[in-house]
Each structure stands twice: as C-alpha cells, then as structure tokens.
Amino acid sequence: MPVPRVVIIGGGLAGSAAAMKLAELEFDVSVVSLTPLKRSHSACAQGGINSVNDLTRQLGDSEWKHFDDTVYGGDFLQHQPPVKAMADWAPRIIDLMDRLGVTFNRTPEGFRDQRRFGGTLYRRTAFAGATTGQQLLYALDEQVRRWECAGRVKKYESADFLGLALDDHGRACGCVVQDIQSMEIFTLPADAVIIASGGCGALFGRSTNSMACLGSAVSRVFQQGARYANGEFIQVHPTAIPGADKLRLISESARGEGGRVWVPRRPQDPRRPQDIPESERYYFLEDRYPKYGNLVPRDIATREIFRICIEDGLSVQADRMCVYLDVTHLPRDVLDRKLAGILEIYEKFQGADPRTAPMKIFPAVHYTMGGLWCDYERTNDGELVVGSPRNQQTNIPGLYAIGECDYQFHGANRLGANSLIACIFSGVTVAPGIAAYVDAQQRRPAETPASVFEQSRRAHQEQYDRLIARGGDGPNPYRLHQQLGAAMTRAATVIRRNAELDAAYQEVCALEEQSQRAAVADRSGWANQNAVFVRALADMFPLAKTILRGARLRDECRGAHYKPEFEMPAVDSNDPQQRKLQAERWCDVFEENNRRWLKTTVASWSSERQPEICYEPVDTSLIPPRPRLYGLAGADVIEQAWRTRQSRRELQPLVHVEP
C-alpha cells in the first residue's frame, strides 16, 4: 500500500507540529506556506506557554484549574472536552518542547523557570527570554527540517493555497496550489488536508499580525463549504505601537510597573508632551476608574482608550489614533531593570526614547478566536477521545483545521500564553486522528482519478488568467484594503453598535464589489506579488462579512465582544439592600444571556455570497458557566448572589448538553 499523504497549509507552530508528528507516523507530508516555515507569524509570540508544572502543582494547581481558567477566561464559549484535553496534555507538550531543545529560561538548579501571566494565580508560564513563540517555532522547524532530510517532508515555501480538490464523496482529496515565484499552478493529491494558516489580522488593515496572516486559505475553504465559527470574537490588545506599517505589541508590564496613560486636554495639542503641564493632561483611566487606575483589566483599558480617541476626539494625533503611555516619571533603575526589553522595542521601531518622552500607543487587533468549525469526539464523561478521526476535522471530510485558524480552544476571549499550547496541542494530536481517518477510508482520497485534479487545476488556472488579464485600470487594491481595514476596525473591534455594524456591512459589500475589479498593475508571469495580493484581497470579504454578521446578531457582551447597548446592568448602589437586589438582577440577566447566547456562532457561505448563520449549543458539561467578574464593580455581591443560587440548584441534577 502506498504511503498515505497529507498536505498542510501553513507552517507555523501548529502546521510544523503536525508535520513533525505525521512524519513520525510515516506519512508523506507536504507543507505549503507563503513564507519559509521559520518566518511564520508564530515567531511573534513573546510571553510564554502555559501548563501546570511540578512547581505550581505543589501550590495547589492542577490541570483542572488550568482548564477552568481557560474556559472562564473564554466566557464559557468553548466546548469543554477539547479544552480539558489541552490542559491535561500541556505539561507533556512542554516536556516534549524541552527535549526538542527550546531554550526555556532556567532556575539556578537547572529546571525550567516559570512566570505568572494574566488570568491565573499560578506561575504556570514557561518562557524563553522575550521570544517564546520564536523559540518554539524554531524547535519545530528544525524537526521538520530533519524529516525533510529524511525525505518524509516536502516543503513548498513560497506557495499560495488556492483551493481544495474534492472527490465525488465530497471528501478533501488534495489541493490546488500556486508557486508564487514561477506562478505555476499545480495540484497536490492527498488523503487529508490540514489548514493551519493562522489568523486573519489583515481584515483589519493593520494589526499585530504578520503580513502573511491574510486569512485567505481559511476563506477559500469557507467558500468551498467549510463552516466558520465564532467569527465575531477578535481579541484586541490595549497597548500597541501604532506604526505606519503595522501595530507592534507593547507588553502590559509597562502599566504594571507604574506607567500612566493620558491625553492632552486640548485635542491634538501641538506641544511636545514633555512641555504639557500636569493641569492640561487628562489621565482618563485614573479619572474614570479611581480604584484600579491604569491597571484596569485589558478589555476595559482597550475600550477606554478607544473611546477617548474616537468618541471624545482626544487622540494625540489627528491622523493616527493614539494616547500617551508615560513611563518618564519612573526611576531610571526601574526602567532599565524591569522594562528594558519593552523600551528597546519602542526605541527600535519609533526611534524615540521612552525614558524621556511618553510612548504613543493604541489598541490593536491581536488574535482571531474564531475560525474554521471543527469537530471532536467525547466520551460519556466529557473527556476527549484522543486519536479520534473526528477531532479537529471540519465539516468537509478529510479537511482538518488546527492552530489559530480553528475555533475550538479560546471561546470568547483567549487567555494570555494559551495560544502557543493550543497550536502545538492541536498540531500534535491531529496526527493520530488523521491516521485513523485514512485507515477507515475504503478508497484512498489521494487515489482519486487524475481528471478530478486536472479539472480543479484548470479552473484555478483560468481564474488566474482572468485576473492577470484584468489590467491596471480598476480600483487600487492597496487602497481598497486600507478602506476595508478602516471599516472593520471602526465597527467590529472594541466597541460594537448594531447601527455601525449594519453600515459597515453595506460598506464592505460595496468594497467587495470594487475588489472584483481591482487593478492588477503587474502583468508579469514571474513572482507577481501584486496579483497574489489582489486575489487574497478578494478572499478577505467573505470572512469580513462573516465577522460583521456574527457581531451584528450577537446581542450581548461576552469576552471580547462588547456591545454597550447590551451591557450588563450596573451594581452601583451604596445601599446594601439595593445592591443585593441589583446583584440578583445582574444574575438574572446573566442567566438569560446564557440561555440565548451561550452558543457557537456557525457560519456557512451561501450561494448568494452571504454568510448564513446558525447557532450550536456549547458543551459546558464539565464546568457550568459562572459570571466572569475580573475587576468588575460590584463583583463581590454578584459572586455572593451567584453562590446562593448555585447552592440552591445543586439539589437538582445537572443537565448535560450534547454537542
């Protein structure tokens, strides 16, 4: 029997992990990537990777608590069995990465060191300097290279995924790919295809994502019938450096060490920030949240910075939204000892010294929680069946999704340092599942008649030929992209309002119409980046529309999705009795919300080029949903009220929700 073949689209952490594991399982693996694997976006992750470890275990931590933190942080929108499996496997995955040579920071005794990260009380995060993602990616890239030398892996490192080849059973039997140097279009027959192409930051114009995070591979399979889930959940990071080309992350530790956020009281004050006197500065976080000040939780900081610039018009610059993050008042030794790494990044990219002048920062789109819908198999006890062919499989048989482009692990908001573990976990565990899938096939998909492949190849070739023939007279694709980014950023990031979402949808539809005619200025048949971009631009719209539609329909606040019109009622009374009533009311709304909205948004692409949305219940069988109260005013009374309700309810049997 010939060696079974798998094609992986994307060579970041998830894709490389899958390639390595599949090669070990004696698969013939092809990795298709827009960039050399080593240059993938995973390299940008700075903070670390979460898992329970021997140290935290002795302080009372457990896999269960990691699991609990993850679903709590995700506002209970994840199916719990895969998340629990991830938390269970995390320690072993870190061990594996350690064996693969990741240069984790060490304790004096030579053990891996851990730090504490947001959303947990334990020092659960292993890290390698300030470039954990890069180090993890490199370790996997090296293993893939090892298999490449052994002839088990073939890399296509400047290739664009154009679409799936589907056999007559509707199974994925390979894909059509274009070499973006020779512009040759060819097919790669396979028994299974894995999409591991990462997030879709490009929909928002500039984000913290890399330039290859176009979302095009995901969009292409979405348009071929794969479902897309929880699209509206987009994580925005409060503090990033707004560059002309991209938004670069500034770690929260700047505020943690005493950094203050402010804007000049006079809009777009032309003076140098150092020359603006205290009385003319507006420390809006300290003013609006006297208790927490600059250390309000991430989502609140994000919203307030967004509001001060967009609603109050107090952005430091008129043409580019930003506020000051000021550390100039901190002692030099604190700056140099604790913040040197961050200040260096700012200095490198802004050419200004944050020790003498405040940094200019603004929230930035950071992570795509949503993604391709994928399945999983659970036992009756709610455990994941590891090695099941259903795990990570999309609704198209033989098409799998892993890493940032699947939707399974982060729910409505991602916990810091959980993305890396999710990527490697899904990458490593998808492999045995695929082996089981391939074994179960009567006729191997890769053995589909050549005519099927030739047909899809020809279709894509014709499409490309038409694209090139279009010429340079249409709308400018780069400007269309900027307009799309502006529309998406305005309507679908931090603060979402139904009227704005409706308007943005109209605007995006109009832009989409223009994108069909966008100019292709470069008619070269060699390394034509222009044509590749124009094609990717057109594929941004289906996902953009899905995000907008999902956000429009979801009338609640959950995780990263915030609609002021549907905000939870305030618990702000000073009268204890009144306060209790307010808390009860809060809990009522919370439960009602969960009844209506604790559901996965599942979109499919209709023949009218519109997303069709339906909802799917969420498997919360392991940890019942509870209020997510990070830093919320009145958290104490709400918790009290909630506890009372729960203890009353425990007398009744728990209801399991089937996925």
Binding to another protein in span 340-369, by CB under 8 A: 345, 348-351
Q: Which of 236-244, 385-393, 450-458, 624-632 is the region at the interface with another protein (rule: CB under 8 A)?
A: 236-244
DSSP string, 379-414: -TTS-B-TT-TTTTB-SSTTEEE-GGGB-TTTTTSP
Binding-site string for another protein from residue 504 to residue 533, where x marks contact by CB under 8 A and - marks none = -----------------xxxxxxxxxx---
Task: Give the list of residues 6+ apart from residue 346 with CB closer than 8 angstroms, or none.
Answer: 241, 250, 352, 354, 359
Shortest distance, position 181 Cβ to another protein, whole Å: 6
Handedness of CA 121, 124, 127, 133 (dihedral sign): negative
Identify whether the C-beta of residue 70 lies closer than 8 Å to the C-beta of residue 242. no
Q: Could you tell me the smallest distance in angstroms from the CB atom of residue 570 to another protein?
A: 39
Residues 476-505 that bind another protein (CB under 8 A): 476, 478-479
Nearest to 157 by CA among 236, 1, 39: 39
As a whole number of angstroms, the distance between CA 405 and CA 428 comes to: 15
Q: How far is the CB of 348 from another protein (least distance, A)?
A: 6
Q: Which stretch binds another protein (CB under 8 A): 39-47, 167-175, 440-448, 539-547?
A: 39-47
Q: Which of residues 281-310 bind another protein (CB under 8 A)?
A: none
Q: For 361, phi and psi rounded to 5 degrees?
A: -135, 160
Helix intervals (H) in 25-131: 54-57, 63-73, 80-99
Choices 209-217, 503-511, 561-569, 620-628; region in contact with another protein by CB under 8 A? 209-217
Could you tell me which stretch among 96-104, 218-226, 275-283, 636-644 binds another protein (CB under 8 A)?
96-104
Q: Is 92 an interacting residue with respect to another protein (CB under 8 A)?
A: yes
Under the binding rule (CB under 8 A), the answer on residue 425 touching another protein is: no
Q: How far is the CB of 100 from another protein (least distance, A)?
A: 5
Please report whether residue 408 would count as binding another protein according to CB under 8 A.
no
Instruction: State the Cα–Cα distance between residues 514 and 127, nearest whole angstrom.
Output: 45
Smallest distance, Å, CB 32 to another protein? 16
**Residues within window 165-204 making contact with another protein, judged by CB under 8 A:** 181
Query: Is 298 known to be catalytic?
Result: yes
Q: At its nearest, how many Å lie between another protein and the CB of residue 625? A: 32
Distance of alpha carbon 249 from alpha carbon 129, whole angstroms: 16
Element housing 587 (H / E) = helix 576-597
Nearest to 209 by CA among 197, 218, 191, 226: 197
Q: How far is the CB of 537 from another protein (least distance, A)?
A: 12
- Give the whole-angstrom CA distance, residue 374 versus residue 398: 11
For residue 441, CA distances in Å to 7, 173, 192, 232 come to 17, 12, 11, 35
Binder to another protein among 170, 341, 449, 472 (CB under 8 A)? 472
- Residue 212 within binding range of another protein, rule CB under 8 A: yes
Does position 41 bind another protein by CB under 8 A?
A: yes
CB of 99 closer than 8 Å to CB of 435:
no
Q: What are phi and psi of 595, to 5 degrees?
A: -60, -40
Please give the Cα distance from 77 to 7 (Å, whole number): 30
Q: Per rule CB under 8 A, is residue 379 in the interface with another protein?
A: no
Contact between 85 and another protein by CB under 8 A: the answer reads: no
According to the binding rule CB under 8 A, does residue 111 interact with another protein? yes
What distance in Å separates the CA atoms of residue 293 and residue 280, rounded to the nearest whole number?
Answer: 18
Q: Which residue in the list 220, 298, 378, 496 is annotated as catalytic? A: 298
Residue 270 interacting with another protein (CB under 8 A): no
Query: Minimum CB separation from another protein for residue 327, in Å?
Result: 19
Query: Residue 482 in contact with residue 507, Cβ under 8 Å?
Result: no
Residues 127-156 that bind another protein (CB under 8 A): 128-129, 131, 134-135, 138-139, 142-143, 145-146, 148-149
3-state secondary structure 212-239: CCCCHHHHHHHHCCCCEECCCCEEEEEE
Choose among 609, 600, 409, 388: nearest CA to 516. 609
Under rule CB under 8 A, how many of the chain's residues touch another protein?
A: 74
The nearer residue to another protein, 226 or 424, going by C-beta atoms, is: 424
Kindly state the smallest distance separating residue 376's Cβ from another protein, in Å: 21
- What is the spatial distance between Cα 610 and Cα 509, in angstroms, rounded to a whole number? 10
Kindly identify the residues of this chain, within the stretch 598-657, that bind another protein according to CB under 8 A.
Answer: none
Check binding of 561 to another protein (CB under 8 A): no
Q: Give the residue with the Cβ less far from another protein, 128 or 190.
A: 128
* Interacting span for another protein (CB under 8 A) from 280-288, 363-371, 373-381, 471-479: 471-479
Q: State which residue, 522 or 616, has the beta carbon closest to another protein.
A: 522
User: Out of 8, 43, 365, 613, which residue is the one contacting another protein (CB under 8 A)?
Assistant: 43
Residues annotated as part of the active site: 298
